[in-house]
């Protein structure tokens, strides 16, 4: 039975319907085995995030990720044929204009993405409206914007701490909801403001990362959650496993077995 025929296949509509109800659990996936494992665990929302630039490709930030990178990894995730709703990030500078956004989003959709995500508020509304007009569902991303971290001096700063920052976030969130955005990631937004955005938006699902417990759901970078990238763990993440250490141990144990032979 195909994924499309499954009665339990998660869709944009079913995910959006969680607004104000059960908390959404969302994780990143970058390849076939991780997508399959996460789907078997029951994760309903998978994002092929441009965070793969750091945790898979070894880049210092997301600005080095190309559209070809995103297409490649989206195809790998889609091959797992997950029940989860699968989305993909539009990478840095791939949505400078509405035409760019539509053309590049179509490549991600052809690779298996069921929605796309991009960073920004009112400044990218023309791109968002162009995507939605073509029938491509859109997930927003407000707060700390990783694709702009170089412009901010390489620092990941919490957003919404002052009144100006709070007002800007609320304005952007309201504008995204009015445009028809079904969900929005809130990254490193101060928890009171994240809660205010969540309560102010009656239709748009908020998905927090490092923004407190007041959002409609939470998303994490999977290698952070399972300790698969042990060289750096964000302060807001408590790893539930240490797979990096397990791999080191397994390899050393195997090498010791070879020596004994």
Which residues face 138 on adjacent strands? 116
Handedness of CA 131, 135, 136, 142 (dihedral sign): positive
In angstroms, the CA 145 to CA 104 distance is 20
Judge whether 209 and 219 are in contact, CB under 8 Å.
yes
259 is catalytic: no
Structure tokens at 123: 């400044």
- Following DSSP, what letter does each residue of 173-230 receive, concatenated? HHHHHHHT--EEEEESB-HHHHHHHHHH-SSSEEEEESS-S-SSEEEE-HHHHHTSST
- Select which of 110, 187, 196, 259 is catalytic: 187
Residues 159/152, Cβ–Cβ less than 8 Å? no
Cα-based torsion angle of the residue sequence 55, 187, 8, 240 in order, rounded to the nearest 10 degrees: 50
Q: Residue 27, SS3?
A: strand
**DSSP symbols for 29-78:** --SHHHHHHHHHTT--EEEE-TTHHHHTT--SSGGG--HHHHHHHHHHHH
Packed helices 32-40 and 67-78: angle between N→C axes, nearest 10 degrees: 50
Which tokens is 144 given?
Answer: 């700390």
Residues known to be catalytic: 187
């Amino acid at each position: 039975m195909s994924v499309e025929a499954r009665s339990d296949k998660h869709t944009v509509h079913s995910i959006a319907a969680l607004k104000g109800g059960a908390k959404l659990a969302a994780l990143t996936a970058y390849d076939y085995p991780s997508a399959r494992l996460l789907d078997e665990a029951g994760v309903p929302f998978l994002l092929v995030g441009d965070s793969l630039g750091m945790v898979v490709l070894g880049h210092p930030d997301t600005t080095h990720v190309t559209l070809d990178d995103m297409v490649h990894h989206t195809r790998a995730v889609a091959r797992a044929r997950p029940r989860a709703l699968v989305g993909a990030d539009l990478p840095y500078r791939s949505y400078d204009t509405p035409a760019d956004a539509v053309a590049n989003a179509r490549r991600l959709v052809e690779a298996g993405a069921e929605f796309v995500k991009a960073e920004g508020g009112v400044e990218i509304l023309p791109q968002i409206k162009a995507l939605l007009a073509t029938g491509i569902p859109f997930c927003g991303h407000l707060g700390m914007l990783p694709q702009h971290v170089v412009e901010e001096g390489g620092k990941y700063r919490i957003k919404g701490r002052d009144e100006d920052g709070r007002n800007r976030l609320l304005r952007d969130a309201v504008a995204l909801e009015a445009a028809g955005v079904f969900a929005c990631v809130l990254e490193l937004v101060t928890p009171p403001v994240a809660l205010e955005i969540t309560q102010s938006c009656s239709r748009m699902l908020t998905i927090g990362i490092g923004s407190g417990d007041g959002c409609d759901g939470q998303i994490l970078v999977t290698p952070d959650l399972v300790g698969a990238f042990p060289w750096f763990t964000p302060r807001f993440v408590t790893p539930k496993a240490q797979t990096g250490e397990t791999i080191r141990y397994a390899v050393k144990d195997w090498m010791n077995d070879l020596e004994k032979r």
